[in-house]
Amino acid sequence: MKLNRRSLLTVFDSLLTAYGRQYWWPGETPFEIMVGAVLTQNTAWTNVEKAIANLVAHDKLSPQAIITARKDHLANWLRPSGYFNVKAERLKNFCRWYVEAGGFDALSKLDIATLRDALLSVNGVGPETADDMLLYAFDRPVFVIDAYTRRLFSRLGFIAGDEAYDDIRLALEDKLGAEVGLYNEFHALIVVHAKTVCRVRPRCDDCMLRENCPEGRGMQQCLAP
DNA sequence: ACCCAGGGTCATA
DNA sequence: TATGACCATGGG
């Protein structure tokens, strides 16, 4: 298999048929989505939900509240999401930048490249976190590349898997064209597939999106009933 | 007891 | 530029 538009859309259709629309990102507001993007770095989403619930319970789910909160307090609320000291610092960095930049409305006026560079300038926001924010908070056509995306497309033979982040992202965006709705649903479906298929389908307890799944396993086997 | 999770930064060579 | 160490909780 090779990386082209038709192959990609075939995979997308398989996932969409299997799981249906996902209506991502889980989060009420753009700011909550961005907080979640930082907290979910290398962390299970169920743990992130607990941390966000802590912030809400203490009325701290706002940029100003996070900026003014004591770092050790913030770290304690973030404890369930892991790396809590690192993430407390990263959230503070992000919120300081966010307020300084004028908040959501001001940032929304920037073009994609400028906004992406600005996000990447924040210590603690790397390419995937920035792209989560761009796609799901700012509604921009940016294809998010996470570990699952690399595994899926490399096991399907579309890519080698060890390419640089932007090489994969730009290749996918080139083949698919700038389609926010498609990117939104595609990334969500890849993640949902990885999170649920192994438990839902007994034959797939070695889901191909998991690290130790045998090589060469294709979409058909993995999605077969 | 072990593996994994919707990464990113920093020091080193 | 490319590796390795480090960050840390919670579920399977």
Query: Strand B: which nucleotides have any atom within 7 A of a protein Cβ?
Result: 3-10
Rounded distance between C-alpha atoms, residue A166 and residue A145, angstroms: 9
Which of these, A149, A108, A161, lies nearest to A11 by C-alpha position? A149
| Domain spanning A30-137, CATH architecture | Orthogonal Bundle (1.10)
Give the other-Cβ count within 10 Å of A63's Cβ.
Answer: 21
Per-residue pLDDT 10s for chain A (225 aa) are: 689 999 899 889 888 988 899 999 999 899 999 999 999 999 999 999 999 999 999 999 999 999 999 999 999 999 999 999 999 999 999 999 999 999 999 999 999 999 999 999 999 999 999 999 999 999 999 999 999 899 888 878 899 989 999 999 999 999 999 999 999 999 999 998 887 654 433 334 344 454 444 444 444 444 433
Q: Is the CB of A45 under 7 A from strand B?
A: yes
> Residue A220 CB closer than 7 angstroms to strand B?
no
**Nearest nt (C1') from A46 Cα:** C10
Indicate if the alpha-carbon torsion angle A4, A7, A9, A11 is positive or negative: negative
Four-residue CA torsion sign, A125, A168, A106, A32 = negative
CA distances for A77 relative to A54, A69, A128, angstroms? 5, 11, 24
Residue A156 pLDDT: 82
Query: What is the reported pTM?
Result: 0.91
Nucleotide C6 C1' to residue A202 CA (A): 36
The residue among A123, A138, A101 whose CA lies nearest residue A41 is: A123
Residue nearest to nucleotide B7 (CA to C1'): A41
CA–C1' A177–B6 (A) = 23
- Closest nucleotide to residue A85 (Cα to C1')? C7
For A76, the token pair is 């304690």
Domain ranges (residues) in chain A = 5-23+145-223, 30-137
Q: What is the pLDDT of residue A172?
A: 98
Residue A81: which nucleotide is closest by CA–C1'? C9
